[in-house]
Structure 1
């Protein structure tokens, strides 16, 4: 069988990035007898993370760095320029594994014989690029239906849930925790959230919500794991609300799992998501989830068969957390349920549909010879 050369382009290749963790889980479980895989990270590039990718898979940096405003500078030049600069080989399949510049680059591909796939993690509609693509993939059923509707049925769209290697998550969760990251002696219940510190994650409003709940007399701790542009704003919010004894920031962590595993409950406070990898990982660790109704949120709670789904607004999220604080027995009940339902998020449960999709893409590539 002839191997097909397949390229995945992502914005970054870095720790604390759910899209990258999903990409690693996927390429590590593709059929390497069928595919010769290359991954290119455009901006941030953490060399140590390459060790988590199978050695047969090529992982390459493009720019290899990022600074605030750099993406705006890059986009002053047409996407076709960056495509020609960074895509040197003739690939059989080209995948934009993330929106923005990867989507624009694959949409500007000069390789007419390649199969072109646009992979959407959040929700961003690129009608011109999606119309040209052979396949558009969303990571939630919700976004597939939305894309089909907004594109008037003119795109070939499907959905595939992100793959997460539960053996990696479980093994890393059991590693020793540095003393400064051991929160087991903090106020209970212990809430944890993990993600890039950026506005769409809703962490500033989460600090303010937790302040209100503290003023109502509830006891708890919250750990926010991650780094990003909003870190100073979040720290300022913690200081101004005098919540330093209840809310803790860890910064970027190569291993968030041994922190998440300490939690009584995981919170996704986001305004937007595609399908939260961090929620998936929490479920795999048996940690109950409170999530806003971002894309994929309802599907995650339905799969867990427990947890709590709230609306996107502050009051609804606050009410959801208050429900758990008033009824702590819910957490033990949910953890018991997750002992069974977490298997639905496992690699074994989701890898078949991923490989079925790439078998279809392989055949599509054969037809373009």
Structure 2
């Protein structure tokens, strides 16, 4: 076959593929792809609700007398809570604001895409309205006082993601389980935001109480917990879509969740040793120094996914997102 003939055949093949992709991308969505997008849209609405609460209290704030064009409800923040968060990193307020902004845009884009393709958004509209916003939020300085979809004041945070991504021998897709990084945080009811000004009482800038430190560090690990979910969810559901443009959406949004996750687990590792028992719920938690003297499964600076078994233990270990299996 001559080079010219090969080029013609190759060009015809690519044109056919391009036309096929165009047909798949246009028009209405099939019910399965629409359902997947609606599910992701609902997740993004819930994530937005979480992150807006964090942004109100601990994110960067607009200048007095102005409004933020990206994140609603900001009115000055909570300086004492924000100060405690900066133990983890001085840029925490910017990161919190940006994560909130990202999730808000994810939810808005998915909603608009569904509507543009004639798919129902009624359930998303209902979720994003007032009907399910029934949970009282924080009354501490900086909170908008709005009712919420999610509750940041009674959390049990599974920190096994920490050891999962630092293990070179285990993969949840192969049935492996992983230990906790923070003692006590996965049981009981812990608050990740000040519920009222009582939770910041006794603190001053540069001198947070142990109780406020524990609240801020709970938030730090919860940030990573939220985003590790999206890190796995998008590649898992990408295996189930049929439309090339829907696939592109999942493959484009999903990695932003992974970028969030890696940022947050890096910052969570800066928590300093502290123990606290919540005066309201009685939940106890102990944060330890993960930067020194820890085995690899707890070592703070191992923020890149350790290679682990993938698909089958007969293959060499490989650095991957996990879990991603769908059944």
TM (norm. structure 1) is: 0.25
Q: Which structure's residues are more often helix, by fraction?
A: 2
